[in-house]
Structure 1
């Protein structure tokens, strides 16, 4: 399996990289993408990826929450990072009108800048959208030479996912699919999305799969997600689709290899 998005630079993982990676490999997760959410975290993600060649890879981008941190040098720095072979996608970038940690006009300008960057470097997009679907789609439509993309950590509606699929985008699913209380609608979405358009991710340390057995949590008191729990995301998808788990893991692995050229 390939976990297409974790936040290994998060302070919750400080000093535990070897243990996190070893548990992931033991669980069948052979490659992991580290998500860049700011210039700083993108640099840190690249540094970690270089320490674990062929296992860790990185993205480089500015999350909408951090859009206010963008300055005149940010895009040039991201472009330099994207010239590294371990940095395989632009992002995490997009819009988040749910929390508005950065002003909306600033988010939009930051998003435009990174879409233009992706057109220049021809590396796939790692997209984020929350409560901003119409603005998000409108901005994407202004860019005519965009590479392939994944809409990561998808929790939206069936109507929204149909729009993304029509654009040829991949859909990234996290442990949210197992949360029947908050995201019950995702069962219908998962059933609709074809396997060849799916990717799986943990978004660790967030989005803990609800179907993770308690015995798996013994080495951390808090319910902190990590790549070793990726099989439980795949398990929920297999259950919803009524197909073997192996079909999910094989297809999503192949999809990730094709999108990110792994």
Structure 2
């Protein structure tokens, strides 16, 4: 089982990131992608991936777009030469909170789209309340890009349809397990082809609300990925083993992860 989105550079993991990885492995998560959300964060993510023998992304999250510097492009391209760094991102647009201005977000996103074309690696994408601009920027370069996943999908039916039509993979998180906010996604996941589905925790965020017994900590961890997989399997009427095998194969295909990263055990 492959967790395609773990924010292991978060300060919430600073004291026990090795133990977090060990618990994930014990739960059947064979490998993970550590998310890069800024230039400095991407450097740290690559270092952690190398130490743990897993993978990372390199990019600038839209929240951090205002931090883009003239040398950001060069640093990210250098990181992306590492075999441990398998995708450009987390990049995209987020007009929900606008921690960076829309103009700064669009500039940083365009730069990273062009980097993805240049280095020949897929995109790890973020979009919230910005679907029209997101797709408008992505479409012209899509034929020259090497695929991508819209991570932590929480968009509308229209957004899902258009992203699938373009050819994106869709990342599903524990948002699905939220009885308050996840009802639409619970319906939508049934319409995502199994061949285009990827699983992620987005840890330490989005702890599944339906875990039983409830953990004492509100911190999410990649060891909870099997719980998300079981919920997706139930909603889609797919056997758990089939879902795990297909989503893992999808991740290996998109990110060019060797088959040796296949899970040793699936719970």
- The equivalences for 1:77-226 within 5 A come to 77-143=75-141, 144-214=143-213, 217=215, 221-226=216-221
Q: Could you tell me whether the CA contact under 8 Å between 1:208 and 1:223 is conserved in 2? A: yes
- The runs of 5 or more residues in structure 2 that have no matched partner are 258-267
> What residue number does 1:238 align with?
233
- 1:43 Cα deviation after fit: 0.2
- 1:244 Cα deviation after fit: 1.4
Runs (4 or more) in structure 1 with deviation over 2 Å come to none
- 1:9 Cα deviation after fit: 0.4
After superposition, give the CA deviation of every residue in 1:77-97 in whole Å (9 maximum; x if it has no partner).
Answer: 000000111000000000000
Q: Tell me the distance in 1 between the aligned counterparts of 2:59 and 2:137.
A: 17
- 1:108 Cα deviation after fit: 0.2
> What residue number does 2:30 align with?
30
- 1:180 Cα deviation after fit: 2.2
- The runs of 5 or more residues in structure 1 that have no matched partner are none
SS of 2:183's equivalent in the other structure is coil
- 139-148 or 60-69: bigger deviation: 139-148
Question: Is 1:247 the counterpart of 2:245 in the alignment?
Answer: no
TM-score normalised over the length of structure 2: 0.94
> What residue number does 2:255 align with?
260
Q: Could you tell me whether the CA contact under 8 Å between 1:171 and 1:197 is conserved in 2? A: yes
Q: Could you tell me whether the CA contact under 8 Å between 1:92 and 1:126 is conserved in 2? A: yes
TM-score normalised over the length of structure 1: 0.96
Q: Could you tell me whether the CA contact under 8 Å between 1:158 and 1:188 is conserved in 2? A: no
User: How many residues of Structure 1 are paired with residues of Structure 2 in the alignment?
Assistant: 256
Q: Tell me the distance in 2 between the aligned counterparts of 1:261 and 1:141.
A: 23
- 1:229 Cα deviation after fit: 0.3
> What residue number does 2:73 align with?
75
Q: Tell me the distance in 1 between the aligned counterparts of 2:68 and 2:110.
A: 12
